[in-house]
């Protein structure tokens, strides 16, 4: 019971973080709609039964019971409307801005969190080579040297520490590695083989020994570079994870929904607090930093996922917008809104079914 009570603050914080990030997404749509002159009928923070509402001009602002997001209801969204300020009556660029604004707000939120977390950092850490296994040294010679910094593994940029090890772990029998030595880029092709680790124990791998290198700060330029690197790294991780899921490199055990996110944030916060307190540091501050860092990853994840060209997602709306514009240009006919609505409805049901399955799977993993 005491363990559960200790988790309660983190569970509540995780739910709040998740809800805020979804609400920020909807705020992006709301601000873009207002900017473009589209009529917004309701903007809500939270979902479910309405706790508070206020009409201001044409828009009803509401606060709802469940802190798990929100919505921005625009005139003509998902239905026909004769209003000149309806969403469907707007031009290509206005609708594109409105559809992309939610993901844009999530991306900027992640970027801002990272910028705040690493303000005043004296540098950032990267992966570099500390040595090679004897089996690799026998065939590679001095083409790989201690101190070489990783730049790419199988085409994936290694922005921050941990990237090289992750991409090597998911590599097949061959790994294309790009290293940097004294400003010069060196490309090597490695074959998976039986190698000796640093303790002399055999293992199947590429024979690279990794360590952490430090890029010293030279002022605001290094800080800006690291903020961008960390944000770009999150985007790449999400994209890499999707590729692994599609190609079979990842299983359903690697997929998580809201329950898994809340559970992970809770675990991250508690572990950070315990580790900090064990080292006589401020445990609460450490937990806040860890949760904020994970929130940045979720924010970027929401941005990337929502831009996928899947009907019912923002990327699906953008896809239909492009197809409709092309149809008007090439055939002088537009795609009827009822077709987009029907297809989006089918995919929405499918996505909801998938999320229910993922949620049930998450709960099963927690109780088994």
Q: 26 an active-site residue?
A: yes
Catalytic pick from 26, 42, 77, 340? 26
pLDDT for res 2 = 63
Residue 363 lies in a domain: no
Closest CA to 98 of 194, 32, 26: 32
Residue 113 lies in a domain: no
How many CA atoms are closer than 13 Å to the CA of 60, on its beta-carbon side?
A: 12
Residue 152, beta-bridge partner list: 157, 178
Grouping H, G, I as helix, E, B as strand and the rest as coil, residue 77 is coil
Rounded to 5°, the CA angle 22-23-29 comes to 100
Distance (Å, whole) CA 215 – CA 308? 34
Residue 191, beta-bridge partner list: 174
Residue 146 lies in a domain: yes
83, two tokens: 């209003």
**Distances from the Cα of 349 to the Cα of 172, 232, 345, angstroms:** 36, 32, 6
Residue 83 lies in a domain: no
pLDDT for res 29 = 95
pTM for this predicted structure: 0.86
Distance (Å, whole) CA 337 – CA 324? 9
Residue 341 lies in a domain: no
What is the domain-level CATH number for residue 210?
A: 2.30.42.10
CB-neighbour burial class of residue 205 (10 A; exposed 0-12, middle 13-18, buried 19+): buried
Give the domain extent around 209: 123-216
Asked whether 214 and 127 are in contact (CB, 8 A), the reply is: no
pLDDT for res 368 = 64
Residue 189 lies in a domain: yes
Distance (Å, whole) CA 81 – CA 320? 18
From first to last of its 368 residues, the chain has per-residue pLDDT tens of 566 677 777 778 888 888 888 889 999 999 999 999 999 999 998 878 999 999 999 999 998 887 767 889 999 887 778 899 999 889 999 999 999 999 999 999 999 999 998 887 777 888 999 999 998 888 888 889 999 999 999 999 999 889 999 999 998 899 999 999 988 999 999 999 999 988 889 989 999 999 998 887 777 888 888 889 999 999 999 899 888 888 877 676 677 777 777 777 788 888 888 888 888 888 888 888 888 988 999 999 999 999 999 988 899 999 999 999 999 888 888 888 788 888 888 888 888 888 788 777 777 776 76
Which residues lie closer than 8 Å to 357 by C-beta, 6 or more apart? none
pLDDT for res 149 = 94
Rounded to 5°, the CA angle 238-26-50 comes to 130
Strand 59-74 versus strand 202-205 pairing type:
unpaired
Residue 163 lies in a domain: yes
Query: What's the structural domain count of the chain?
Result: 1
Residue 168 lies in a domain: yes
């Amino acid at each position: 019971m005491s363990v559960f009570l200790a988790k309660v603050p983190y569970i509540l914080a995780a739910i709040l973080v998740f809800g805020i990030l979804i609400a920020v997404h909807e705020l992006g749509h709301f601000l873009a709609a207002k900017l473009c002159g589209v009529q917004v009928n309701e903007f809500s923070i939270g979902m479910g039964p309405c706790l508070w509402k206020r009409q201001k001009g044409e828009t009803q602002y509401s606060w709802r019971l469940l802190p798990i997001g929100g919505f921005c209801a625009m005139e003509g969204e998902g239905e026909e409307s004769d209003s000149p300020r309806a969403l469907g009556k707007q031009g290509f660029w206005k609708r594109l801005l409105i559809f992309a604004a939610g993901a844009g707000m999530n991306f900027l939120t992640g970027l801002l969190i990272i910028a705040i977390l690493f303000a005043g950092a004296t540098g950032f850490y990267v992966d570099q080579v500390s040595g090679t296994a004897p089996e690799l040294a026998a065939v590679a010679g001095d083409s790989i040297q201690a101190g070489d910094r990783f730049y790419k593994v199988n085409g994936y940029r290694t922005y921050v520490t941990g990237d090289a090890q992750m991409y090597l772990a998911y590599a097949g029998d061959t790994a294309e590695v790009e290293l940097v030595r004294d400003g010069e880029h060196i490309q090597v092709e490695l074959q998976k083989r039986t190698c000796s680790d640093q303790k002399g124990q055999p293992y199947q791998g590429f024979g690279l020994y990794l360590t952490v290198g430090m890029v010293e700060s030279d002022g605001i330029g290094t800080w800006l570079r690291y903020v961008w690197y960390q944000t770009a790294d999150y985007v790449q991780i999400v994209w890499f994870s999707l590729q692994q899921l599609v190609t079979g490199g990842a299983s359903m055990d690697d997929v998580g929904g809201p329950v898994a996110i809340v559970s992970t944030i809770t675990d991250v916060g508690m572990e950070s607090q315990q580790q900090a307190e064990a080292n006589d540091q401020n445990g609460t501050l450490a937990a806040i930093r860890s949760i904020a860092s994970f929130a940045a990853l979720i924010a970027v994840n929401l941005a990337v996922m929502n831009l996928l060209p899947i009907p019912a997602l923002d990327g699906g709306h953008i896809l239909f917008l492009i197809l409709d514009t092309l149809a008007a240009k090439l055939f002088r006919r537009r795609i009827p809104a009822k077709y987009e609505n029907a297809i989006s409805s089918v995919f929405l049901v499918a996505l909801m079914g998938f999320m229910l399955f993922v949620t049930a799977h998450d709960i099963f993993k927690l109780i088994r």
